[in-house]
Amino acid sequence: MTSEQIGNALAPLNALLNTTSTVLLIAGFIAVKRKNIAAHRASMFGAFVTSCVFLVGYLTRFALTGSHKFPDIGAVRVVYLVILFSHMVLAVVALPLVLRTLFLAYKKRFEEHRKIAKITYPIWLYVSFTGVLVYLMLYHLAPAMMPAPH
């Protein structure tokens, strides 16, 4: 298997990891609202692990295949770039927030944990969800919209 084939195989795996993280984040939110702390803890830990595995997979894919240019197909490209840019900026913001939020929970500093989680959760959820959108747009929507070769 070539490095390009490995990188291309990682793209859908990374999307699956982001999807899993999104589902676990939502499950964790529902669990804490229902005061099921054990399920909340398990879901959020699972979301963290899948996000970490995603990051390793993404960096590996990027190292193997580089960046992928979205084709110039009008307004769809603009939408893609807006989603991609917001995803990238918020991913950078999310990392220290997630680490701090988990640290506070680990240290049983739950009042501080709750306060920062109100900021961390929507950002982390957005990053996970838009990661899937970026994948779908780049690897499925864009190729489907390209004119057929003559």
Kindly state whether residue 150 falls inside one of the protein's structural domains: no
Q: Out of 27-31, 49-53, 72-76, 89-93, pick the least confident.
A: 72-76
Kindly state whether residue 113 falls inside one of the protein's structural domains: yes
- The C-alpha atoms of residue 34 and residue 138 are separated, in whole angstroms, by 37
Number of domains in the chain: 1
Kindly state whether residue 111 falls inside one of the protein's structural domains: yes
Cα-based distances in Å from 127 to 22, 55, 132? 9, 12, 9
Is a pLDDT exceeding 80 seen at residue 150? no
Kindly state whether residue 74 falls inside one of the protein's structural domains: yes
Is a pLDDT exceeding 80 seen at residue 149? no
Kindly state whether residue 134 falls inside one of the protein's structural domains: yes
Q: What pLDDT shows up at residue 99?
A: 98
Kindly state whether residue 62 falls inside one of the protein's structural domains: yes
Q: What pLDDT shows up at residue 24?
A: 98
Range of the domain at 87: 3-145
